[in-house]
Amino acid sequence: MAPRRAGIGHARRTCYSRGPTRQPPLNPMLHRAPTIGVLSFQGDFAAHAQTLERAGACPRLARRIADLDGLDGLILPGGESTTMLRFLRAEPWFDALRDFAASDRPLFGTCAGAILLARVVTHPAQASLGLLDITARRNGYGRQVDSFTARIAVDALGPEPLEIVFIRAPVIEAVGPGVEVLATYGGRPVWVRQGRIFATAFHPEMTDDTRVHEFVFDLKPSS
């Protein structure tokens, strides 16, 4: 497990929205940290928020469609994908999330969030956003009792191995021609991207290592 970096993101960081009701600070030398939303109906959204803070971003818990306004990126966290679907269907979230993806801002799904992004979901089949050209098999790495951790090399993150945590994780069974595989485990993709849309089968927020979030959202933590 990578050590936490002391003081990340707090020294000279300030947060403000890009929306019409908020203004940037008067001091232009202050760094505006990106505001990254975390869909917060259910699941491990709090852990993502803490990781974003350590990585130098300003997290915003998104429970209403209006909470997407002014965000620089968005996370669909792990949890229970069928439960999340019930919330997404209660309001026009499908349209809102597709519009968000079309705006070319980073969209990142972890575990259940990856299932929601997938073009095809199996075991069993379920509705999804269809924004990422992958086939995701639910609970492909086993049930809750089969949870485990591993360490893998990820070229995009440098020489230090990345610790990955699998909890009821989906298997990415297939990827389309426009999907880049950023990391594999056991010969299968576990971190993929298609343009500005990213997905991991594992939970990057469950360790102290912030590199995955930094890479996805192009964060540059303060020293």
Interval 76-120: pLDDT, tens? 999 999 999 999 999 999 999 999 999 999 999 999 999 999 999
Query: Which is the CATH superfamily of the domain at 13-217?
Result: Class I glutamine amidotransferase (GATase) domain (3.40.50.880)
Interval 114-162: pLDDT, tens? 999 999 999 999 999 999 999 999 988 877 767 899 999 999 999 999 9
Q: With CA atoms as reference, report the closest residue to 31 among 68, 56, 51.
A: 56
pTM of the model: 0.86
Domain spans of the chain, in order of start: 13-217
Neighbours of 187 (CB within 10 A): 5
Q: With CA atoms as reference, report the closest residue to 38 among 79, 85, 90, 74.
A: 74
CA distances 114 to 73, 110, 132, 189, 203, Å, are: 15, 5, 9, 12, 11
Peptide bond into 124 cis (omega under 30): yes
**What are the residue numbers of the active site?**
111, 203, 205
Beta bridge partners of 193: 180, 198
